[in-house]
Amino acid sequence: MKKYARSMLRLVLLSLFFIMAPGHGGEPEVTIKKSDRCPVCGMFVYKYPKWVAQIVFQDGTAYFYDGAKDMFKHYFDTAKYTPGKSAQAIKDIYVTDYYEVELIEARSAFYVIGSDVLGPMGHELLPFKDRESAQEFLQDHKGRSILRFQAVTPALIQSLDRRS
Amino acid sequence: MILHPTVIANLLASCIVSFMVLYASYYGVQILRHWDIRSGDELQLILERKTYLISTLLTFVFGLQLLSLFLYIFTADVLCPLFVGAMCAAGTLNVNEFGYPTLVLKIINFILAGIWLVLNYADNQGYDYPLIKIKYLLLVFIAPFIVLETALASAYFLNMEADVITSCCGSLFSAEETAAGLGSEIAALPARTMLWIFYLAMACSLAAGIYFYLKGKGGYLYALVSLLVFGIALVSIVSFISLYIYELPTHHCPFCIIMEEYDYIGYLLYILLFGAVVAGIGIGALLPFRHVPSLQNVLGGFIRRLALASVVLYAAFTALVTYEIISSNLIM
């Protein structure tokens, strides 16, 4: 259950995978283990592969999330969910493109909010790799606006946690 | 309504228990009014025959009631993928306003049904139905709770709408100041302090239990302590035990622990806890009758066995919690 050694091994394997992965734009093809949980809500991430987001720290540790919303929560309040770590130590951030279902760079992605598509955690920011697909999605799914990574604020994330 | 086998099982169990308890209560009232062991009246003979049927029936019915608490939790856990925002039973129970009240009543009824079973067992040991009026009085007291539970459970399952966004346990049991509700208030308790309170309370309860087992004194005290410790243990699960099991510093959910991913450890914890509190309170329920002539020889032994069971179950719970804390990767 609590196999420290096993998780260390997994970490090593994962980092090996990153090092050895062929450099095509730096987008990793990660396999999610059954034990990987979102550090924000505790949900098992393998159940929702289409919504996976990931933060990789400089020390090689990586965390998965079941949606961009929880990834942002961790990003804005890193020390709360992972004591001893800070947002400055974040190396890479990835989100899953809603149409392509592949991991893309979160900092350069386009996010649609206010649409009628709900994630596992309710209202979500839906990530797209380019403005065209985000625009297309916004029109098809009654989206409200398209945001860039820098425009996302803690207040906005909090407003997504409403129940209706 | 969601037509899932577990939902049907829940409603069926609730309806069976309610119907049977009402049927038994009808005869219970007759017994309370007309029972006279010295009489050879026809009614008395009918009641004497009926009470065998009814108490046997109720043993199974209350057994089902005990199981239904776990069935209810299991159902909520199984249904969670159907609701947006729910990641475990906590979210499913929050789908409408009847989920949590049903759970609270199920917990109360679990304890009441357990006490009834203890009384019934003791009553069956004596040849002259020594506790018959007491146990049917208790039955008449329990009946409204059972019926109310059935009504709430029906309202809960019949009003389940799949298109609502529910809250995930991460926000229901969040220690943040912005979060409201009992779950969050408990989650916000200082974990380290709760840990000490938990171990202190368990130590007191074990000491009181062992003292009663060996010396036969302080039975009422142990019954009271076992109820208090039960409450403290439930709060502790939310406050700090969950943190060690999940190995996440902010996840306080008391329901995720029943999931397969955590080896169903939650079921074991809750079974130990509920078994311990029923045995503990059962002592208090039986002590007033230990001098009844027909029970004098047997009741003392039964009460001591209850005390032993309660102490062993609480000790096992504490040992399991301690194991989880020691083997956890979380350091607080």
Q: Give just the sign of the alpha carbon dihedral B57, B105, B191, B254.
A: positive
Whether residue B274 is found in the same domain as residue B299: yes
| pLDDT for res A24 | 44
Token digits of residue A143: 């989206």
Q: Which of A80, A161, A164 sits opposite B171 (nearest CB)?
A: A161
| pLDDT for res A23 | 40
User: Which one-letter amino acid corresponds to residue B235?
Assistant: V
Q: What is the DSSP string of A108-155?
A: T-EEEES-S-EETTEE-PEEESSHHHHHHHHHHTT--EEEEGGG--HH
- Residues 78-107 on A with a CB inside 8 Å of B are 80-81, 83
- Residues 160-189 on B with a CB inside 8 Å of A are 164-171
The answer to whether A154 faces chain B, any CB pair under 8 Å, is: no
Query: How far is the C-alpha of B110 from the C-alpha of B112, rounded, in Å?
Result: 6
User: Which one-letter amino acid corresponds to residue A70?
Assistant: D
Whether residue B157 is found in the same domain as residue B184: no
Question: If you measure CA to CA, which chain B residue comes closest to A121?
Answer: B85
Token digits of residue A28: 């990793």
Whether residue B144 is found in the same domain as residue B264: no
Which residue among B167, B199, B226 closes a domain?
B167
Whether residue B160 is found in the same domain as residue B185: no
Whether residue B156 is found in the same domain as residue B182: no
Whether residue B200 is found in the same domain as residue B320: yes
Which residue among B167, B183, B206 closes a domain?
B167
Whether residue B22 is found in the same domain as residue B128: yes
Q: Are B200 and B236 in contact (CB under 8 A)?
A: no
Q: Are B64 and B110 in contact (CB under 8 A)?
A: no
Chain centroid, CA B322 distance in Å: 23
The answer to whether the Cβ–Cβ distance between B165 and A35 falls below 8 Å is no
The answer to whether the Cβ–Cβ distance between B84 and A120 falls below 8 Å is yes
Q: What's the residue count for chain B?
A: 332
Q: Which portions of chain A are predicted below pLDDT 70?
A: 1-29
The answer to whether A159 faces chain B, any CB pair under 8 Å, is: no
Q: Which of B85, B256, B328 sits opposite A42 (nearest CB)?
A: B256
Q: Are B156 and B52 in contact (CB under 8 A)?
A: no
Sheet strands side by side (includes A145-148): A126-128, A110-113, A145-148
Nearest 5°: phi and psi at B229?
Answer: -65, -35
Q: Measured between beta carbons, which residues in chain B are less than 8 angstroms from residue A1?
A: 262-263, 327
| pLDDT for res B292 | 92
Q: Are B57 and B138 in contact (CB under 8 A)?
A: no
Q: What is the pTM of this model?
A: 0.88
Query: How far is the C-alpha of B8 from the C-alpha of B23, rounded, in Å?
Result: 22
Q: Measured between beta carbons, which residues in chain B are less than 8 angstroms from residue A81?
A: 248-250
The number of domains in chain B is 2
Helix (H) or strand (E) holding A55: strand A53-57
The answer to whether the Cβ–Cβ distance between B165 and A163 falls below 8 Å is yes
Going from the C-alpha of B184 to that of each of B172, B192, B253, B254, the distances in angstroms are: 6, 17, 10, 12
Measured in Å, how far apart are chain B's first and last C-alpha atoms? Answer: 43
ipTM of the modeled complex? 0.78
Q: What is the DSSP string of B178-227?
A: T--SHHHHHHTS-HHHHHHHHHHHHHHHHHHHHHHHHH---HHHHHHHHH
Query: In which domain, by residue range, is B30 found?
Result: 1-167
Chain centroid, CA B9 distance in Å: 19
Query: How far is the C-alpha of A158 from the C-alpha of A162, rounded, in Å?
Result: 8
The answer to whether B143 faces chain A, any CB pair under 8 Å, is: no
Whether residue B229 is found in the same domain as residue B301: yes
Whether residue B103 is found in the same domain as residue B145: yes
Whether residue B132 is found in the same domain as residue B182: no
The answer to whether the Cβ–Cβ distance between A42 and B248 falls below 8 Å is yes
The answer to whether B82 faces chain A, any CB pair under 8 Å, is: no
Nearest 5°: phi and psi at B96?
Answer: -140, 180
Q: Which of B81, B169, B249 sits opposite A83 (nearest CB)?
A: B249
The answer to whether A132 faces chain B, any CB pair under 8 Å, is: no
Q: Are B198 and B207 in contact (CB under 8 A)?
A: no
> Looking at CA atoms only, how far is residue A47 from chain B in angstroms?
9
The answer to whether the Cβ–Cβ distance between B170 and A43 falls below 8 Å is yes
Sheet strands side by side (includes A103-105): A62-65, A53-57, A90-96, A103-105
The answer to whether A74 faces chain B, any CB pair under 8 Å, is: no
Query: How far is the C-alpha of B132 from the C-alpha of B123, rounded, in Å?
Result: 7
Could you read off the pLDDT tens digit of each residue along chain B, which spans 332 residues? 889 999 999 999 999 999 999 999 999 999 999 999 898 899 999 999 999 999 999 999 999 999 999 999 999 999 998 998 888 999 999 999 999 999 999 999 999 999 999 999 999 999 999 999 999 999 999 999 999 999 999 999 999 988 888 888 888 888 876 667 888 889 888 999 999 999 999 999 999 999 999 999 999 999 999 999 999 999 999 999 999 999 998 899 999 999 999 999 999 999 999 999 999 999 999 999 999 999 999 999 999 999 999 999 999 999 999 999 999 988 87
> Looking at CA atoms only, how far is residue B263 from chain A in angstroms?
8
Grouping H, G, I as helix, E, B as strand and the rest as coil, residue B161 is coil
Whether residue B206 is found in the same domain as residue B160: no
Grouping H, G, I as helix, E, B as strand and the rest as coil, residue B296 is helix
Which residue among B144, B167, B190 closes a domain?
B167
| pLDDT for res A22 | 42
Mark out the alpha helices in B35-175 (DSSP H runs).
42-79, 89-93, 99-125, 132-158, 169-172
Query: How far is the C-alpha of B278 from the C-alpha of B285, rounded, in Å?
Result: 10
Query: How far is the C-alpha of B321 from the C-alpha of B137, rounded, in Å?
Result: 38
Whether residue B56 is found in the same domain as residue B193: no
| pLDDT for res A10 | 59
Task: Give the Cβ contact number of residue B199 at 10 Å.
Answer: 14
Q: Are B88 and B256 in contact (CB under 8 A)?
A: yes
